[in-house]
């Protein structure tokens, strides 16, 4: 995903007068800009940084959705809509089966040591942004047994 696509979609949402969608995309653009400033690359924002910011924002909205009380249906619907909009821009994540196959194929030597910390360090460096950290952690723990 790149910044131009996000900006174009935000303009399209403004023109279509879709307030909620525009707000969700706008918050996403803000999160990406903040991450870019933190990284020190304001003008030329790499796609990897955009993807990382999108995943972080998606995780935040998911937590809001999960912690929202059941009695607040209006708030829950708003969070769900935001989650759905942001999820469209998120990079595709690997399934647990794909993660397991990838780890077994690329990290066979590290798996032989059964040192979970060492394996996680190598795997996370390679798979950051491609799969959820919890899925990777569970898979590595399962393979180390």
- Dist CA 18 CA 10 (whole Å): 9
How high is the pLDDT of residue 66? Answer: 93
Q: Do 84 and 40 belong to one domain? A: yes
What is the structure's pLDDT at 123? Answer: 87
CA distance 102 to 58: 24
pLDDT tens profile 44-87: 899 989 999 999 999 999 999 999 999 999 999 999 999 999 99
Range of the domain at 74: 3-89
Q: Could you give the angle at which helices 96-106 and 133-144 cross, rounded to 10 degrees? A: 60
pTM of the complete model beyond 0.85: no
User: CB–CB of 21/14 below 8 Å?
Assistant: no
Q: Over the stretch 10-38, which tens digit does the pLDDT of each residue have?
A: 999 999 999 999 999 999 999 999 999 99
Number of domains within the chain: 2
Average pLDDT score over residue span 95-114: 85
77 & 106 share domain: no
Pair (22, 48) in one structural domain:
yes
Same domain? 114 vs 81: no
**Same domain, yes or no: 49 and 120:** no
């Amino acid at each position: 995903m790149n910044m131009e696509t996000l900006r174009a979609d935000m303009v399209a949402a403004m023109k279509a007068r879709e307030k909620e969608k525009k707000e969700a995309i706008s918050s996403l653009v803000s999160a990406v800009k903040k991450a870019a400033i933190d990284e020190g690359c304001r003008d030329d924002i790499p796609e990897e940084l955009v993807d990382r910011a999108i995943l972080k924002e998606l995780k935040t909205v998911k937590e809001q959705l999960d912690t929202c009380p059941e009695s607040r249906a209006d708030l829950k619907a708003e969070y769900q809509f935001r989650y759905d909009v942001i999820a469209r821009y998120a990079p595709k994540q690997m399934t647990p089966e794909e993660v397991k196959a990838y780890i077994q194929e690329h990290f066979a030597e590290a798996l032989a040591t059964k040192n979970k910390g060492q394996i996680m360090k190598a795997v996370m460096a390679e798979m950051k942004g491609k799969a959820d950290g919890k899925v990777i952690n569970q898979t590595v723990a399962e393979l180390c047994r």
